[in-house]
Amino acid sequence: MKKLHPVMFAGTGSDVGKSIIAAAFCRIFRQDGYHPAPFKAQNMALNSYATPEGLEIGRAQAVQAEAAGVPCHTDMNPLLLKPSSDHTSQVVLNGRPIGNRDAYDYFRVEGREELRREVCSAYDRLATRYNPIVLEGAGSISEINLRDTDLVNLPMALHAGADVILVGDIDRGGVFASVYGSLMLLRPHERERIKGILINKFRGDIRLFEPGIKMLEDLCGIPVVGVVPYYRDIYIEEEDSLALATKSVQAEQGKVNIAVILLRHLSNFTDFNVLERDPRVHLFYTNNTDEIAKADIILLPGSKSTLADLHELRRNGVAQAVIRAHREGATVMGICGGYQLMGQEVCDPDHVEGEIERLPGLGLLPVSTHMTGEKVTRQVRFQLAIDSTSSAANCQLSTVNSQLTGYEIHMGTTIPTHDAPVSPLNLLEDGRTDGYYVNRTCMGTYIHGILDNPAFIDFLLEPFADKLADAGTAFDYQQFKEEQYDKLADHVRRHINLPLIYQILTTHD
């Protein structure tokens, strides 16, 4: 195939849709016979993923790699910032945490060149293996106060020699000012890298905007390569959890009602995407105590700050509501930080997370968690460790245990209390065990992605079989995701000038 220039999708601001547009082009280039790969030098997100090598990257780049049909790698996101408060973040470099940094210290000029060398080296390695590289910018390309410390936008485009497509969000209004203003704030050599403008999230009759396209091109001297309409029927994993609280909480008849507890520091919320699509399930996100009481199953999700979230759950009454719901028959399951919350105590004597040294947990599992500075990141294969002679036998454990997969990203170790029997939920392929199982209504695990396994969902829902007579059957989530990437690519193709984009990516400067 012809060698294409790298292409960067940069934005006039945050949340203009850069990640989704980049994913669409990863799939488009793959469909057209190229071998693309995503790249974002620096990502700030709590939603992360473990690579096959057991290292950590932003979930958005894992999604883009999936759209491109290639394994994810830390070179695709060499620098990940995981916020732990309004002012501090854990810094993950090349897949491994290197400590917590205050925002002011992180964005100082001093020490930035070392990070710049790391992200540029990661890009250079990636560029030798894939064609083209689809780069994603961060926030706005015109944050002139951060110009000297920027690692991810135009300095990276200049290093890569990338053609930049500027993405503007017309849905929020002011798209002319945001596009033109973004360009005018760039220095001349930076402005030369901008080769096209893409208007995203358009609503209404596109013919009404056609005069605006000509005005924008005349004003900026740069072609508009497409106007992509807003969509509602394509489901791509989201990068952040801002929209979770808006999802319906009204219990539904004939379905298993599942509540995911909205933690303040909730992470890896994509653990629940498959349940949102399962026709047997009505999933909602809440920290309202009355709504928790409506749930058949309560899921405690991952947390970036387990002790802070545990303190908040006790303060706002959610902890007591979960305990009460379990006592009245609801199933409670914790994943990662949620598993830690369910235990007898969470201890942090070395102040890994903060100033709180110990808090009592919800007391639903006979386990104790000790926070440690070492982070565990790995992909895993496993099967349920539950004795097939137990009450779980009528869930066809042989089917459940055919082969389950997931990944771990956590700090801390969790062990049974001194008087508790050993009762793991899962047996890993290498012989290690994971989690704790009390009974069909009470369990915890460190494995993210456990709910991506249809057989495990069948296991979780089986006690509610009487509610599922007319609710339909499970579906293939992997196939569903592939279909969504294709739908996204088709949607974007219809509304962009792809021949012009290929011309841009093959024309010598």
Whether 208 and 227 have beta carbons less than 8 Å apart is answered as: no
CATH C-level class of 7-43+57-75+112-230+482-505? alpha beta
Residues contacting residue 210 through CB under 8 Å, at least 6 positions apart:
none
pTM value surpassing 0.85: no
Q: Give the per-residue pLDDT at 107.
A: 62
CATH fold group of domain 248-472? Rossmann fold (3.40.50)
Which sequence positions are flagged as catalytic? 336, 448
Q: Give the per-residue pLDDT at 105.
A: 67
Residue 151: phi, psi to the nearest 5? Answer: -110, -15
Residue of 469, 476, 434, 430 whose CA lies nearest to 452: 476
Residue of 339, 413, 335 whose CA lies nearest to 370: 413
Please give the distance of CA 106 from its chain centroid, rounded to a whole number: 23
Token pair, residue 184, equals: 């005018």
Tell me how far apart the alpha carbons of residues 185 and 246 are, in angstroms, rounded to a whole number.
Answer: 36
State the burial class of residue 234 (Cβ atoms within 10 Å of its Cβ: 0-12, 13-18, 19+).
Answer: middle
pLDDT tens digits, the chain, 509 residues: what are they?
Answer: 789 999 999 999 988 999 999 999 999 999 999 999 999 999 988 888 999 999 999 999 999 999 999 999 999 999 999 887 767 888 899 999 888 877 666 666 666 888 999 999 999 999 999 999 999 999 999 998 888 889 999 999 999 999 999 999 998 889 999 999 999 999 999 999 999 999 999 998 888 899 999 999 999 999 999 999 999 889 888 765 555 555 555 556 678 999 999 999 898 889 999 998 898 999 999 999 999 999 999 999 999 899 999 999 999 999 999 999 999 999 999 999 999 999 999 999 998 888 899 999 999 999 999 999 888 999 999 999 986 434 444 444 444 556 899 999 999 999 999 889 999 999 999 999 999 999 999 999 999 999 999 999 999 999 998 877 655 666 688 889 999 999 999 999 999 999 999 999 999 86
Q: Give the per-residue pLDDT at 246.
A: 52
CATH 3.40.50.300 placement within the chain? 7-43+57-75+112-230+482-505
Question: H/E/C letters for each residue in 257-279?
Answer: EEEEECCCCEECHHHHHHHHHCC
Residue of 481, 469, 447 whose CA lies nearest to 337: 447
Q: Give the per-residue pLDDT at 393.
A: 41
CATH 3.40.50.880 placement within the chain? 248-472
Q: Name the CA dihedral angle for 457, 462, 464, 466, rounded to a multiple of 10 degrees.
A: 130
Q: What is the DSSP string of 372-436?
A: EEEEEEEEEEEEE-S-TTSGGGGGTHHHHTS-EEEEEEEEEEEEE-TTSPP--SEEETTS-EESE
Sign of CA dihedral 19, 23, 25, 26: positive
